Structure 1
Amino acid sequence: MLTASGTGGKGCAVLARQRQAMILEEVKKTGAVRVSELVDRLGVSDMTVRRDLEVLSRRGLVEKVYGGATAVVGRSTDEPGFEAKSVQQLPQKEAISALAATLVKPGTAIGLSAGTTTWTFARYLDDVPDLTVVTNSIRVADVLQRTGRSDRTVVLTGGVRTPSDALVGPVAVHTLRSLHLDMVFLGVHGMAAGPGLTTPNLNESETNRALVEAAGRLVVLADHTKWGIVGISTIADLEDADVLVTDDGLSKEGREFLAERVGELLIADVDEDGMSDTGGETA
């Protein structure tokens, strides 16, 4: 259920981001939203809702129609930019990240792919000492280096920078093929029967495959909305995932299907306030 309110001041930017995430979630569930309904549910003005819809429309996340907005019909090459994806499924990404962080052991070498889920996950590594982190994400590297910890080594692969701030291409692939990592945490655009774990970006797919090949264990981080989505290029099969961490919004059918194929399926709990429960459950 959509509920949010707020007044002007320093909190406006944060509240706008939260509202837009809630609107996107509602569009995902119902396929369409009306301005009048959003005004009542969010407790904000008509103009505020219309501005939120305009922002989401410019980012390609919804299609504006008279009196509201509808879902955008997905294509296998559709890929919103980093900023657009960063407002989607925020509570789920936090819950998934908190649960996945419990898998990381001190003194290990891990890899993180580019993406907003792995970017969120990077913030949960602050309490893990003596880590070496390899990533092709400028955003992820920035989060890790802000702490200034002397016991952490951050390795950027190098390569050609994409609009989502991923480093890809021959340089990145060559770097990854020379490394051996204890564990790799992979964010994906979609996961589905047949195509497996996919991306809509051909430039990033080869680099992601090289990252997967460097992994001693592969951990996939994917919220429930990724189930049934197919990008143009396959990164890995579902069976290649040693662990898949998702959230409790995943359908019963999705849980049963994935539990039979991945090594271990971990479900992160998200309560009504959007707070994560790091306990999660195993399916």
Structure 2
Amino acid sequence: MVADQGLLAHQRRALIMEAIRRDGAVRVSELVEQLGVSDMTVRRDLDTLARSGDVEKVHGGAVGLVGHGGNEVGFDTKSGLQQSAKQAIAEAAALLVTPGSVVALGGGTTVHAVATRLVNIPGLTVVTNSLPIAQLLESEGVKSPTSPSVLLTGGAPTPSKVLVGPLADTVIGSLHVDLLILGTHGASTRAGLTTPNLAEAQTNQALIKCANRVAVVADHTKWGITGLSSFARLHELDHFITDAGLPRTERSALAEAVGELVVADDPETAAEHGSM
């Protein structure tokens, strides 16, 4: 992308869409530098593209949507988004894990942040279909004798580096786990939890069926987003952990639907959760 202050609005937006198709996401700060325009101009362009259904706005930038370019956003692209919220959510989710239990971890960058908090909890067995999580826990196992035992399901990898398909589903279907911690592409009262990947939706359903308790970790930008395929309804969830960016009105609707809503960086709800 070449900076040119003389670009017209439609030219800027075409360049933004080109960058999203190439990289999966863009940041406002980078676009300001690359396009040679103001922060406000970039944000107006992203607003226009979001209204037309070409992109999904997130904190600090935008990501591409499946159906526009046909590409699912990859793990590495997602890992740079909503970092502070993911860390707060991960801290809260780790409080649900008890020593000696069997925990299943789904894919995604927020669940990966949770995994980093589990390495010092003794006696854990972790089942996962996430390649980055398995790699993280295996590398930590070399350093610490308390690191969890890891079972990787097998299957075919997605752009998010999650293993899905018949092999993954068969392995998962034979297991029983105490707690499942799952991420999601989108969540809403109407559609529940959704993903743009049909095979991933089916594997997520297998994970839910094998778990005694289900916890979903999702930052506030996931609320109101609907992917192609639903894999769970909100009433099936024992815990939903998000961050304080979720508006109060949306929290009320979510709290009524799930077993427990935890707002990780909200002092009141975090204190209540920590005392359980």
Bin for the TM-score computed over the shorter chain? 0.7 to 0.9
Greater mean deviation of Cα atoms: 76-85 or 122-131 = 76-85
Name the structure 2 match of 1:128. Answer: 121
Alignment of 1:91-110 (within 5 A): 91-110=84-103
Structure 2 residue aligned with 1:141, among 134, 139, 150? 134
- Check conservation: 1:95, 1:270, Cα contact below 8 A: no
For 1:79 and 1:160, locate their aligned partners in 2 and report how far apart those are by CA, in whole Å.
15
Measured on the aligned residues, the alpha-carbon RMSD in Å equals: 2.9
| Compared CA separation, residues 241 and 183, structure 1 to 2 (3 A) | same
The alignment partner of 2:193 has SS state of strand
For 1:154 and 1:141, locate their aligned partners in 2 and report how far apart those are by CA, in whole Å.
7
| Compared CA separation, residues 62 and 147, structure 1 to 2 (3 A) | closer
Name the structure 1 match of 2:14. Answer: none
For 1:138 and 1:83, locate their aligned partners in 2 and report how far apart those are by CA, in whole Å.
12
| Compared CA separation, residues 112 and 159, structure 1 to 2 (3 A) | same
Structure 1 residue aligned with 2:263, among 264, 267, 280? 267
For 1:241 and 1:185, locate their aligned partners in 2 and report how far apart those are by CA, in whole Å.
10
For 1:217 and 1:258, locate their aligned partners in 2 and report how far apart those are by CA, in whole Å.
18
Name the structure 2 match of 1:24. Answer: none
- Check conservation: 1:201, 1:233, Cα contact below 8 A: yes
Kindly tell me the number of residue pairs found equivalent between the two proteins: 229
- Check conservation: 1:267, 1:280, Cα contact below 8 A: no
Which ranges of structure 1 fall in alignment gaps of 5 or more residues? 1-34, 37-52, 272-276
TM-score by length of 1: 0.73
Structure 1 residue aligned with 2:23, among 59, 71, 79? 59
| Compared CA separation, residues 190 and 84, structure 1 to 2 (3 A) | same
Shift of 1:194: 1.4
Matched-pair identity in %: 45
The alignment partner of 1:205 has SS state of helix
User: Which residue identity lines up with residue 207 of structure 2 in the other structure?
Assistant: L
For 2:198 and 2:219, locate their aligned partners in 1 and report how far apart those are by CA, in whole Å.
22
Alignment of 1:1-283 (within 5 A): 58-62=22-26, 67=37, 68=42, 70=46, 72-74=54-56, 75=65, 79-148=72-141, 149-151=144-146, 152-269=148-265, 279=270
| Compared CA separation, residues 240 and 264, structure 1 to 2 (3 A) | same
TM-superposition CA deviations, 1:154-192 (whole Å, max 9, x none): 000001122221111100000000000000000000000
The structure with the largest helix share of the pair is 2
Name the structure 1 match of 2:9. Answer: none
Name the structure 2 match of 1:10. Answer: none
TM-superposition CA deviations, 1:19-61 (whole Å, max 9, x none): xxxxxxxxxxxxxxxx99xxxxxxxxxxxxxxxx997674232
The alignment partner of 1:269 has SS state of coil
The alignment partner of 2:224 has SS state of coil
The structure with the largest strand share of the pair is 1
- Check conservation: 2:102, 2:124, Cα contact below 8 A: yes
For 1:106 and 1:249, locate their aligned partners in 2 and report how far apart those are by CA, in whole Å.
31
- Check conservation: 1:186, 1:220, Cα contact below 8 A: yes
